[in-house]
Structure 1
Amino acid sequence: MRSWILIPADSEKALGAAAGAGAEAVVIDLARPLPPAQQAAARTDAADWLRAHREQVLAQRRFERWARIPGLDTPHWREDLEAAMNGSPHGIVLSHCRSPEDIRQLASVLYEIEDQLGLAANVTRIVPQLGSTPACALALGRLVDELHPRVSALTWDAVALAHAIGSRRLRGPGGRWSDPLAQVRGQLLLIAHARGLGAIEYPFREIRDEDAGLRIAEAARADGFTGMFAIHPSQVAGINAAFAPIESETSEARKVVSAFATNPGASMVTVGDRRVGPTELLRAKRLLGED
């Protein structure tokens, strides 16, 4: 999926506009810290919205329904998760994911909740938000071999990491990410492609600068990201355009899919002058919308 929009669960206006934003995935955000009474109301509103948009018969563009929950080191993450699961979302974005153990713990709780709600086992996917502290960033390499099957994509949290290291900026001259942030971003991108997963870029926060937002989305796509978060509906069209496949990409993807279809059971096939394997097949199917 190309465009993911974060919608604050405590904003009635934002919730009302979410379905018409044009994003391919709407993520109701329960991870933002709120006073207890407001958090309880936000949980109710999130579950109501997720339930109300389960059927999208009249929607011009169908979208997936996700929820973002706080990290497992916070006191009320399970209440937020249970509220979101009452709306049977397609998946959960786990903020401040510290390690593969956090993903496994979340997956285990999801299995319990799915069983309680009568949902199919393992139907709920996970997108961990990684690298939000120096320790988390240094542990990213473990994900190559330890990712849970529920994980369908990876993303990161530039602002949290910048705060954690005392950085005064996210980007340097020319809009380039500062060195520590660029290192985490690059490592996440490599891990995602090594495992055949989606890689979702951090949102551009200056919503009034549409030209810069489009340039940054185009740069993320050029770097190999498969999608990007938006924080305002005005950003979605630019993200969709930036991540739309070009003809040469779709042509190559069709060749990869066709090569595997004509060689069932093969672990590697030849496409043109190169050998491709399962990760290239997954990437090709994702680009063609067949994943």
Structure 2
Amino acid sequence: MRSWLLVATDNDGELQGAANAGADVVVIDLNRALSPKRQETAREIAQNWLASHQKQVLAQRRFGRWVRISPIDSQQWRADLHSAMSGQADGIVLSDAASPDHIQQLAAEIYEIEQRMGIGHNKTGIVPQLGTSPRAALELAKFADEVHPRVSGYSWDAAALARAIGARRTRAPGGWSSVMNMVRSQVLLAAHARGIDVIETPFRDLRDAKACQIAAASARADGFTGMVALRGAQVSAINQAFAPTAEELREAEEIIALFASNPNLEWQNYKGRRMGQSQLTRARNMLGQS
């Protein structure tokens, strides 16, 4: 999934147009600093939006319906999650996942709700946002170890990390600042170590379309599999940057065929390169066979 469009519930224009923006995933954002009354209204809007678009997605398979919820150490996350699950969201983006324990706690809660609501087992995916605080950034190596099977990818949030450390910038001339680059690289490596997707933080200057194109192309070149968009106008640039080339599609087909002809082997030799299950999963995802 290349493009992840993050939409706030109080942005009426973006919310109404989200389904037709061309994004692979629409993420309704509940992780926002709101008063209790406004937060409850936001949950109702999110639940209604999910429900109203469920039939459309089931019929046409056009986009994923996800919700970003508050961090596990907040008082709001369970209420956010219940709204998302009531709308039968396809997945949950977990803000500020400080440790693998947070993922386990969320997964256990999702399991209980799935059982109560009659939702298919393990239907609801998880993408945690990593390294958004100093302590979480220092724990990133742990996410390269075994993760819950619900986790389909990792992401990060440069703006959240900058706020947490009081940084006045996220980028420096020629690229990311040193701290941002360190966190970004570790999230990227942890995801590839697990053979799952890795989603780039959004490009926040909404006025500079050209720079957004460059940022998306750079993320793809560095090994990211997708990127967050903050507006529908950014989606096409992200989709274009992450579209597989003809050569990549051909190689994916050949890798899948190679494993199909030798199903009992964990590793395969492909053009002098050692291919394992993570490469097979990536090939299947590229061809939409996941």
**TM-score range, shorter-chain basis?**
over 0.9
SS at match of 2:171: coil
**One-letter amino acid matched to 1:232:** R
Give the C-alpha shift of residue 191 in structure 1. 0.9
SS at match of 2:176: coil
Structure 1 residues 232, 60: CA separation in 2 closer, same or farther (over 3 Å shift)?
farther
Give the C-alpha shift of residue 146 in structure 1. 3.6
SS at match of 2:56: coil
Measured in 2, the distance between the counterparts of 1:130 and 1:35 equals 26
Give the C-alpha shift of residue 59 in structure 1. 8.0
TM-score by length of 2: 0.97
**One-letter amino acid matched to 1:101:** D
After TM superposition, list the pairs within 5 Å mapping 1:172-211 onto structure 2.
172-174=172-174, 176-211=175-210
Structure 1 residues 61, 147: CA separation in 2 closer, same or farther (over 3 Å shift)?
closer
Structure 1 residues 4, 57: CA separation in 2 closer, same or farther (over 3 Å shift)?
closer
Give the C-alpha shift of residue 272 in structure 1. 1.4
Measured in 2, the distance between the counterparts of 1:113 and 1:274 equals 43
* Corresponding residue for residue 142 of structure 2: 142
Number of positions where the alignment pairs a residue of Structure 1 with one of Structure 2:
290
Give the C-alpha shift of residue 263 in structure 1. 0.5
- Give the 4+ runs in structure 1 shifted more than 4 A: 57-61
- Deviation sequence 1:239-268 (CA, Å, 0-9, x none): 000000011111111111110011012101
After TM superposition, list the pairs within 5 Å mapping 1:93-242 onto structure 2.
93-174=93-174, 176-242=175-241
Give the C-alpha shift of residue 213 in structure 1. 0.2
Measured in 2, the distance between the counterparts of 1:269 and 1:73 equals 43
SS at match of 1:286: helix
* Corresponding residue for residue 245 of structure 1: 244
After TM superposition, list the pairs within 5 Å mapping 1:270-281 onto structure 2.
270-281=269-280
Measured in 2, the distance between the counterparts of 1:9 and 1:147 equals 30
**One-letter amino acid matched to 1:237:** S
TM-score by length of 1: 0.97
Measured in 2, the distance between the counterparts of 1:150 and 1:87 equals 18
Question: Which 5+ residue runs of structure 1 have no aligned equivalent?
Answer: none
**One-letter amino acid matched to 1:69:** I
- Deviation sequence 1:209-232 (CA, Å, 0-9, x none): 000000000000000000000000
Give the C-alpha shift of residue 11 in structure 1. 2.6
After TM superposition, list the pairs within 5 Å mapping 1:73-84 onto structure 2.
73-84=73-84
Question: Which 5+ residue runs of structure 2 have no aligned equivalent?
Answer: none
* Corresponding residue for residue 266 of structure 2: 267
- Deviation sequence 1:109-136 (CA, Å, 0-9, x none): 0011111111112211100000001110
Contact (CA 8 Å) 1:9, 1:29: kept in 2 or not? Answer: yes
**One-letter amino acid matched to 1:229:** V
Judge which range, 196-205 or 164-173, deviates more: 164-173
**One-letter amino acid matched to 1:140:** L
Judge which range, 116-125 or 230-239, deviates more: 116-125
Judge which range, 246-255 or 59-68, deviates more: 59-68
Measured in 2, the distance between the counterparts of 1:57 and 1:183 equals 38
Judge which range, 114-123 or 44-53, deviates more: 114-123
* Corresponding residue for residue 34 of structure 1: 34
Q: Say what the alpha-carbon RMSD is for the aligned residues.
A: 1.3
Counting aligned pairs with the same residue, the percent is: 52
Structure 1 residues 172, 19: CA separation in 2 closer, same or farther (over 3 Å shift)?
same
